[in-house]
Structure 1
Amino acid sequence: MNQNMIRKLQKLQKEMQETQERLQMTEFEGQASGVKVIMLGSHQIVDIKLDKELLEDIEMLQDAIVAAVNNAVAVVDKTTSEEMGRFTSGMGMGF
C-alpha cells in the first residue's frame, strides 16, 4: 500500500471518528401523543416533556412515553446510519 493511500485511509478514519463523536452528543427528538423525548445520539435520554392532559390517563401516558422513546431511538439510528453510510458508500460495506 502506498503512502498516499495510507494518508487517505487515516484521514477517512479521523473523519469517521469525529462524526461518531459529534453524533453521540447531538440531541434528537422523538414524539408521540403529547410526549416529547430528547435523546442524545448515545441513546441517553436527557429530557421528557408531557402534555398535562396525559396526566389524567396513566395507561395512555405510559404508552405515549414508550412510543416517544422508540421514535427517538429510530431517529438516532436512522441519522447515524445515514451519516456513517457516506463513509462506506462505494466500499461495499454498510452500517
Structure 2
Amino acid sequence: MGGMNRNQMMAQARKMQEQLVAAQQKAAATEVSASAGGGSVKVTATGDLRISSITIDPQAVDPEDVDMLQDMILAAVNDALEQAESATEKAMSAVTGGLNIPGLF
C-alpha cells in the first residue's frame, strides 16, 4: 500500500479513531433548534439525537384544538432531530473524508 508498513497503518488507524471519538463528542455537545407554528413551539436537540428542551407558547394551547398543538410539536421535534443528525454526519464526514463506514454513526 504505497510503501506504508503495518506499524504506520496501525498508527494512522489509531489517530483516525481518536479523531472520530473527538468528533462524536463534539457532535453530541452540539445543539440545534427548530420551531413550528410561527415559533409557537420550539425544540432543541443535541447531536446525539436527544431532545434537550421543548418550549410552548401559552397562546398555542387551545383546548379546542389539541391536534394542532400535537402536530406543531411533532413537526418541530422531527425538524430538530433531522438538523442534529445532519450536523453529526457533517462532523463525522470531516474526519472520514466522506467515507461511509458502516456502524460508525
Q: TM-score range by the shorter chain?
A: 0.7 to 0.9
> SS at 2:42's partner residue?
strand
2:41: which partner in 1? 35
CA contact (8 A) 2:34 2:79 kept: yes
Are 1:10 and 2:14 counterparts? yes
Q: How many residues align?
A: 93
User: Which structure: larger Rg?
Assistant: 2
2: CA distance, partners of 1:61 / 1:88: 40
Aligned identity (percent) is 31
Are 1:61 and 2:61 counterparts? no
Amino acid across the alignment from 1:25: A
Are 1:87 and 2:63 counterparts? no
Amino acid across the alignment from 2:74: V
Normalized against structure 1, the TM-score is what? 0.83
> SS at 2:32's partner residue?
strand
Greater helix share, structure number: 1
Structure 1 runs of 4+ with >6 Å offset: none
2: CA distance, partners of 1:54 / 1:42: 29
Which runs of no fewer than 5 residues in structure 1 stay unpaired? Answer: none
Which runs of no fewer than 5 residues in structure 2 stay unpaired? Answer: none
> SS at 2:61's partner residue?
helix
CA RMSD across the alignment: 1.8
